[in-house]
Structure 1
Amino acid sequence: MKTKLFTAALLLSSTLAFSQAHNVSAGYQKPTDPAVIENLEQWQDMKFGLFMHWGTYSQWGIVESWSICPEDEGWTQRKPEHGKTYFEYVKNYENLQKTFNPTEFNPEKWADAAKEAGMKYVVFTTKHHDGFAMFDTKESDYKITSKNTPFSSNPKANITKEIFNSFRNDGFKIGAYFSKPDWHTEYYWWSYFPPKDRNVNYDPTKYPERWNNFKNYTYNQINELTSEYGKVDILWLDGGWVRPFSTIDQSVDWQRGIKVEQDIDMDRIGGMARKNQPGIIVVDRTVPGKWENYVTPEQAIPDHPLDIPWESCITMGNSFSYVPNDQYKPTKKIVETLVKIISRGGNYLMNIAPGPNGDFDQAAYDRLKELAKWIKINESAIYATRSVAPYHDNEYYYTRSKDNKTINVFHLTEGERYTVPNSFTFQLPENSKVNNVKVLGHTGKIKWNQKDNTVTVQNPTKNLEYATVIQVNLK
């Protein structure tokens, strides 16, 4: 990134998210609804998804939403040209609605590129914390389809609907990201009080009618998303500080900052979502219980397998939102991230941020195209797999087929380029008896031998990029 401050902020955010990842399995409740269990199993088979953070903030090329929160000024430092005072800044930020006109928006292009790169599901930010709705909500005029937004006259103005339809047509599962906190509505940040931090700026127990209005506001918007936008497979709820006070984990630093009750009645919301969309996965992030059907470490990978469904959401660049000249990760790094995640039993939700013109940077398309070649060769070792011991041993990472008849061994090396060895030597689980060995991408014969639980494979080719996959079929 351009500034050391922003880079430090990303590292801080990653550290907090990583520490959070080590607490995620506490209090997990396995779903009991057969339709949810089936959907979750299918989702775990998919392994790789696309995340997209997009809103009016892309016009300033800044981090999404956070700059309007006083608590977060230190790491989202406001630029003087955007407002000399806090209130002037917020006014100018909200006025970005009046210039947002992403005329190059073409979700079919995104869906095609993501599908080619092996992605199987999409999660889109229908509304972030700033409250700007990228869908045609009836609850607010702060939305993409408002007459105050230039793009409202475009035939594709209802961006969420267009994205969901395009990706659904390409066979993707559809995920609706939705922020529980809403810093635009008077029901959450009431103008009677100044906002102090990311939490509600009044005490809901002292103003129960206002808080009840906020609960209804949230319920109604989620009802719209789950009843008017076709089949939705995942409801991805962000803003974990909006939660029952009794669920706060005092061992987690950011949760200690929650000082008031913020229960929005997830039973009511989740029940409505399941009525509208039978089997929908609900992800009430960081709030353990029956509405957190899978957990979501952010910008980090747990260092060991988790025994519950999980997904790491990680940016392709340095930022979740569009930033000019963002530095996109090399394809080798993306492959390594995917391998590490699936070897520990998780899914990889990779974020690409559209810009103010309505398209990805060309560099993002380049990465997806390069990734597509490797995925196509090695897809049988990626999808519909699960973790298996030893999970990770030096340069080797493992997955297994769901029927336990195949072990997939991924070989990675450090450095900018993948170093292809002359042979591979790795361990298999106890009492594994090998029937056959393949090096994916090579069609000829393979020389290999097994001694006890150790297998050695002679490398038949030097033309592999990013990582090698050895597929071991067991007797």
Structure 2
Amino acid sequence: MNKKRIIIIALLLFGLTSEVSAQTDYQPTQSNLEARQWFDEAKFGLFIHWGVYSILGDGEWVMNNQNIAIDAYEKLPSFFNPTEFDAEAWVKMAKDAGMKYITITTRHHDGFSMFDSKVSEYNIVEKTPYGKDILKQLTEACEKEDIKLFLYYSLLDWHNDDYFPRGKTGNGIAGRQEGDWNNYIKFMKAQLTELLTNYGEIAGIWFDGDWDKVNADWHYDEIYKLIHDLQPQCLIGNNHHVALKPGEDFQMFERDLPGENKTGFGTAASDVGELPREVCATINGSWGFDLQDKTHRSKRELVQQLVRASGFGSNLLLNVGPMPNGKIQEEHVQSLAAIGDWLNIHGETIYRSKAGSIAPTDAWVSTQKGKTIHLHLLEKRPKASVIPEFKERIKSVKLFADKRAVKFKQTKAGLLMEIPEAAQNEIDTIVEITLK
């Protein structure tokens, strides 16, 4: 380790070891409240899981799943040379898909930093033949296209000895040593300081890995305060699958709609809070690049996933796992373009909307802006169908697609509508209901 690096580390850690007041009394700034509102209205973002694990083509958990020893895994960076990475192409793809922000993995559970970190030599600039800071390139491309950037940061680390005592995962990985938990907290603070100092305005920090050690002292009071002090507008979210903690600005739900917990590891309905929400999901079956994953979701599945999330008052963060050469699979590029085409026509029923007053079911969800409800029928229905328990006074009902009037009647059973089968859409039949 060179003298310059030692000095930088010492300065960073010295500034972060002083006592920090708690975030339990956190009061968001005006810029943070404005950022929350923007986020709540954005509705659609791109998740990117990318790291040296992509070389093995077996997902981002390959180090754990194959129990790859530390010294063996450390060989991977020497093969990582994504010469076809094009930050501007990635951002343009997201923008054309109708996405308003990007969330990218800066450090995943394998402990490898995908940015130019001065507190860890185990990073893309120093350990790969590529030798460039992909995060710097992405921040510049996002700024150019007015796309906001969120940074995923793993709390869990299978590589760093100071992540000790260890948690539930990675215990079959040979070469892991004992270390000092307090030093690990200082290390994370130092890296977060780098991320929030060297890359311009960051829209949010997306934490993951809390579930590996649910009873650990993660020093969230200190970490959250550090983030809000460095960039007050920066939104904090944590994928811990439990109720919101003090200092957090939005709540995320992994592979699940808020309150549904169909995964079995998700957030209980009683723990769903009032802050902005985000559902994260994959475009196929994997987060990181998986060569064998052929479960690519159809346009219908993807559009309906976005619509359902919106009907639950949530954003959708849709993931892609780039290949080791820096390109995104062509089938995923095409799928994102198809969603963008759909949003070009139907986006006003999604963006800046809130969950509608018609309760969601498997067959429909609703979004709403003021007195306008957009009822999204996600399955074809009989010509005459009833939306039960609808009691609000209606001014008009029409199809969103062609503004054709829909015959309707309000009865004790609910709202009775007549929509000819020929007028129904395979993906989403949108009915626009205007209230009096």
Is the TM value for this pair above 0.5? yes
Aligned partner of 1:299 in structure 2 is 255
Where do 1:391-430 residues align within 5 Å? 391-393=359-361, 395-401=363-369, 404-413=370-379, 419=380, 422=383, 425-427=386-388, 429-430=390-391
C-alpha displacement at 1:371, in angstroms?
1.4
Cα gap change, 1:224 to 1:91, in 2 (>3 Å): same
Aligned partner of 1:330 in structure 2 is 298
CA–CA distance in structure 1, aligned partners of residues 164 and 130 of structure 2: 27
The answer to whether structure 1 residue 162 and structure 2 residue 137 are counterparts is yes
CA–CA distance in structure 1, aligned partners of residues 231 and 100 of structure 2: 19
C-alpha displacement at 1:265, in angstroms?
2.2
Where do 1:206-221 residues align within 5 Å? 210-221=180-191
- After TM superposition, the score normalised by the length of structure 1 is 0.75
Contact 2:399-2:432 at 8 Å conserved across structures: yes
The one-letter code sitting in structure 2 at the alignment partner of 1:151 is: Y
| Matched position secondary structure for 1:392 | coil
Match of 1:101 among 45, 57, 81: 81
Cα gap change, 1:281 to 1:197, in 2 (>3 Å): farther
Aligned partner of 1:24 in structure 2 is none
CA–CA distance in structure 2, aligned partners of residues 359 and 267 of structure 1: 38
Q: Structure 2: which 5+ runs fail to align? A: 1-23, 261-268
Contact 1:31-1:37 at 8 Å conserved across structures: no
Aligned partner of 2:233 in structure 1 is 279
C-alpha displacement at 1:158, in angstroms?
0.8
| Matched position secondary structure for 2:75 | helix
C-alpha displacement at 1:233, in angstroms?
1.0
Which whole-Å deviations, capped at 9, do the CAs of 1:401-435 have from their partners, x for residues lacking one? 1xx3111100112xxxxx5865665357423222x
The answer to whether structure 1 residue 440 and structure 2 residue 400 are counterparts is yes
Moved more, 390-399 or 270-279: 390-399
CA–CA distance in structure 2, aligned partners of residues 213 and 390 of structure 1: 51
Q: Structure 1: which 5+ runs fail to align? A: 1-27, 70-75, 79-85, 244-254, 414-418
Contact 1:182-1:189 at 8 Å conserved across structures: no
| Matched position secondary structure for 1:111 | helix
Aligned partner of 1:63 in structure 2 is 59
Cα gap change, 1:97 to 1:202, in 2 (>3 Å): closer
Which whole-Å deviations, capped at 9, do the CAs of 1:314-365 have from their partners, x for residues lacking one? 1101110001142211110111111222111222111111001101111001
Where do 1:125-204 residues align within 5 Å? 125-146=105-126, 148-152=127-131, 157-188=132-163, 196=171
The one-letter code sitting in structure 1 at the alignment partner of 2:88 is: E
The answer to whether structure 1 residue 469 and structure 2 residue 423 are counterparts is no
C-alpha displacement at 1:303, in angstroms?
5.3
Cα gap change, 1:458 to 1:59, in 2 (>3 Å): same
Match of 1:450 among 393, 405, 409: 409
CA RMSD of aligned residues (A): 2.9
C-alpha displacement at 1:463, in angstroms?
8.0
- After TM superposition, the score normalised by the length of structure 2 is 0.82
The one-letter code sitting in structure 1 at the alignment partner of 2:415 is: T
Which whole-Å deviations, capped at 9, do the CAs of 1:176-223 have from their partners, x for residues lacking one? 0001222222322699xx97379xx888xxx7xx33322211101000
CA–CA distance in structure 2, aligned partners of residues 277 and 303 of structure 1: 30
CA–CA distance in structure 2, aligned partners of residues 195 and 317 of structure 1: 25
C-alpha displacement at 1:58, in angstroms?
0.3
CA–CA distance in structure 2, aligned partners of residues 376 and 397 of structure 1: 20
C-alpha displacement at 1:370, in angstroms?
1.5
The answer to whether structure 1 residue 314 and structure 2 residue 281 are counterparts is yes
| Matched position secondary structure for 1:151 | coil
Moved more, 421-430 or 264-273: 421-430
Aligned length: 393
Which whole-Å deviations, capped at 9, do the CAs of 1:12-48 have from their partners, x for residues lacking one? xxxxxxxxxxxxxxxx999644332321121111111
The percentage of counterpart residues that share the same residue type is 29
The answer to whether structure 1 residue 118 and structure 2 residue 78 are counterparts is no
Moved more, 271-280 or 95-104: 271-280
Aligned partner of 2:10 in structure 1 is none
Contact 1:31-1:290 at 8 Å conserved across structures: no
Cα gap change, 1:295 to 1:469, in 2 (>3 Å): same
Cα gap change, 1:149 to 1:393, in 2 (>3 Å): closer
Cα gap change, 1:42 to 1:358, in 2 (>3 Å): same
Aligned partner of 2:217 in structure 1 is 263
CA–CA distance in structure 1, aligned partners of residues 83 and 47 of structure 2: 21
Contact 1:189-1:195 at 8 Å conserved across structures: no
Aligned partner of 2:21 in structure 1 is none
Cα gap change, 1:31 to 1:172, in 2 (>3 Å): farther
Cα gap change, 1:353 to 1:231, in 2 (>3 Å): same
The answer to whether structure 1 residue 239 and structure 2 residue 209 are counterparts is yes
Aligned partner of 1:83 in structure 2 is none
Contact 1:285-1:292 at 8 Å conserved across structures: no
